[in-house]
Amino acid sequence: MRTFGAVHQALREHAGMTREEFADRVRFSKHTVASVELGRRMPDPAYVEQAEGVLGNTGALRKALPTVARQPGLAAWFRRWARLETTAIALCTYECRMIPGLLQTKAYVDALSADQLPPLDDSQIEERWVARAERQQLLRERPNTAFSFILEEQLFLRRTGGTEVMRELIDHVLEVARLRNVEIQIMPLVQESHAGLQGPMRLLETPENKWFAYCEGQESGLLISDPKLVSVLHNRYARMRSQALTIKDSVSLLQRMRGDL
pLDDT tens digits for range 119-132: 988 888 998 888 88
Residue range 21-54, pLDDT digits in tens: 999 998 888 888 888 888 777 677 788 888 899 9
pLDDT 10s digit of each residue in the chain, 261 long? Answer: 677 788 888 889 988 999 999 999 988 888 888 888 887 776 777 888 888 999 888 888 887 776 665 455 566 667 788 888 888 999 999 999 999 999 999 999 999 999 888 898 888 899 888 888 988 999 998 999 999 999 999 999 999 999 999 999 999 999 999 999 999 999 999 999 999 999 999 999 998 899 999 998 887 888 999 999 999 999 999 999 999 999 999 999 999 999 998
Q: Has this prediction a pTM greater than 0.75?
A: no
Q: Which amino acid is at 85?
A: E
Type of residue numbered 192: E
For residue 182, the cross-strand partners are 147
